[in-house]
Amino acid sequence: MNGQRRPLLEVRNLEKHYVLNEGGLFRKKTVLRAVDGISFSVFPGETLGLVGESGCGKTTAGKCILRLIEPTAGSMEMEGEDITRASFARMREVRKKIQFIFQDPYSSLNPRMTVGQIVGEPFAIHGICSGVERRKRIERLVDRVGLSAESCGRYPHEFSGGQRQRIGIARALALNPKLVVCDEPVSALDVSIQSQVLNLMMELQRELGMAYLFISHGLAAVKHISKRVGVMYLGKIVELAETEALFSSPLHPYTEALLSAIPVPDPEIARERIILEGDVPSPVHPPSGCRFHNRCRYAMPVCRETEPEWKDAGGGHFVACHLR
């Protein structure tokens, strides 16, 4: 299936380490492994979901792909072009193809710009179309995300969270990108508004054919929108598979626990919940071997010592666990 097609984006061994300067006598340098060697591909027109708990490195990974922050190792290829060390000028061009939607619909829009200016900003930055033509295109975009044309003259604070997220989506779509990296695009919204935005994103994808990298801690939303899903834990992807396979037969013990932890909105269903002990360890001192070993109910001696390999368990279901 996917094997035949060329990936749109290919990420290999991506790493982002932060060097923290702790004070004190010896000025000990510690390294925070925000993203610690992750690999995945995004195919044209598909949605790849990236889930994990707070601090596991989702946002960092997303921002590295756009070079909004510089990765410390690894490589990224967009349509076969290595963009890991592309020049600033070249990245400007690449960003026409990759756009970003942020989590917070309140702070991600400039409060002093009108909606029309915000949505048309990519045209201005890249010197694409002007005058009546630009206005028409802006109005088309605004209309496409379900806002009225008169919204163009108004300011972000006059809109609700869901409407602001629509404005962000319109801006991201202005240049017909091939990939949109969406970092928690619905997490800050009310439940009834989340489904409006999710439906809109899926509709737009069917119509325009772009791919999404959909980053979220909300598993239900990720499941709904994604074709494939990767699960992150402490800077690593521990499992990646087709959505159905991942949710119906998770192979990694962390995925299994994560899925069982989500409360099901149906009081008739009684489930056994796997309660993980303790907290996620600090990315400054990740556990040796398998990073999940101190919380894993299947941990074996080998898990403490050797890091499990990232392998295909069959049918494109990737997992890193000694059990598999």
Partner 1 sequence: MKPLLEIENLVTTFDTEDGCVTALDGVSLSVGQGETVALVGESGCGKSVTSLSILRLVPSPPGKVEAGRILFEGEDLLAKSEPQMREIRGRDIAMIFQEPMTSLNPVFTCGSQLIEAIGQHQRLTAAQAKEKVLEMLRLVGIPLPDQRFDEYPHQMSGGMRQRVMIGMALCCAPKLLIADEPTTALDVTIQAQILDLLIKLKKKMGMAILLITHDMGVVAEMAERVVVMYAGKVIEEAPVRELFRAPAHPYTRGLLDSIPRLDVREDQLGTIPGNVPSLGSMPSGCRFHPRCPHACGLCAERVPELRETGGGRKVACWLGTPGMAVAGERSASR
Ligand X SMILES: Nc1ncnc2c1ncn2[C@@H]1O[C@H](COP(=O)(O)OP(=O)(O)OP(=O)(O)O)[C@@H](O)[C@H]1O
Interacting residues toward ligand SF4 by CB under 6 A? 252-253, 290, 292-293, 296, 298-300, 303, 308, 321-323
Decide whether 123 or 233 has the Cβ nearer to partner 1. Answer: 233
Of these partners, ligand SF4, ligand X, Mg ion, none, which one is at the site of residue 323 (CB under 5 to 8 Å by kind)?
ligand SF4
Q: Is residue 67 a contact residue for ligand X (CB under 6 A)?
A: no
Instruction: Return d(Cα 312, Cα 324) in angstroms, integer.
Output: 10
Torsion sign (Cα): 298, 300, 306, 311: negative
State which of residues 15, 18, 79, 121 lies at the interface with ligand X (CB under 6 A).
18
Decide whether 63 or 293 has the Cβ nearer to ligand SF4. Answer: 293
Decide whether 9 or 231 has the Cβ nearer to ligand SF4. Answer: 231
Q: Which of residues 57-116 bind partner 1 (CB under 8 A)?
A: none
Q: Which of residues 235-254 bind partner 1 (CB under 8 A)?
A: 247
Residues near 248 by beta carbon (within 8 Å), at least 6 away in sequence: none
Length of the chain: 324
Decide whether 59 or 165 has the Cβ nearer to Mg ion. Answer: 59
Q: Tell me, by CB under 8 A, how many residues bind partner 1.
A: 40
Measured CA distances, 147 to 198, 204, 278 (Å) = 16, 14, 45
Q: Is residue 59 a contact residue for Mg ion (CB under 5 A)?
A: yes
How many C-beta atoms lie closer than 10 Å to residue 279's C-beta? 8
Cβ(102)–Cβ(183) below 8 Å: yes
Q: Which residue is nearest to Mg ion (CB)?
A: 59
The runs of H, that is alpha helices, within the chain are: 58-65, 88-94, 115-125, 131-144, 161-173, 191-208, 219-225, 243-248, 253-261, 301-305
Instruction: Return d(Cα 142, Cα 149) in angstroms, integer.
Output: 7
Which DSSP letter does residue 263 get?
A: P
**What is the DSSP secondary-structure string of 41-101?**
EE-TT-EEEEE--TTSSHHHHHHHHTTSS--SEEEEEETTEE-TT--HHHHHHHTTTEEEE
State which of residues 57, 116, 156, 168 lies at the interface with ligand X (CB under 6 A).
57
Helix (H) / strand (E) containing 18: strand 9-21
State which of residues 22, 81, 150, 190 lies at the interface with partner 1 (CB under 8 A).
190
Look-up: residue for tokens 């368990």?
A: 313
Of these partners, ligand SF4, ligand X, Mg ion, none, which one is at the site of residue 308 (CB under 5 to 8 Å by kind)?
ligand SF4
Q: Is residue 74 a contact residue for ligand X (CB under 6 A)?
A: no
Question: Least Å distance between CB 162 and partner 1?
Answer: 7
State which of residues 41, 47, 59, 226 lies at the interface with ligand X (CB under 6 A).
59
Q: Which window, 48-56, 169-177, 262-270, 285-293, contacts ligand X (CB under 6 A)?
A: 48-56
Looking only at the bridges linking them, the beta strands covering 236-242 and 47-51 are unpaired
Residue 2-41 contact track with partner 1, rule CB under 8 A, x = bound: ----------------------------------------
Q: Left, alpha or beta for 133 (phi > 0: left; psi -120 to 50: alpha)?
A: alpha
Q: Which window, 1-9, 54-62, 128-136, 193-201, contacts ligand X (CB under 6 A)?
A: 54-62
133 SS3 class: helix
Q: Which of 227, 284, 320, 324 is nearest to 39 (CA)?
A: 320
Q: Which of residues 245-304 bind ligand X (CB under 6 A)?
A: 283
Chain residues that interact with partner 1, rule: CB under 8 A: 53-54, 160, 162-163, 190-196, 198-199, 217, 219-221, 223-224, 247, 257-269, 273, 275-276, 278-280
Chain residues that interact with ligand X, rule: CB under 6 A: 18, 32, 34, 52, 54-60, 217, 283
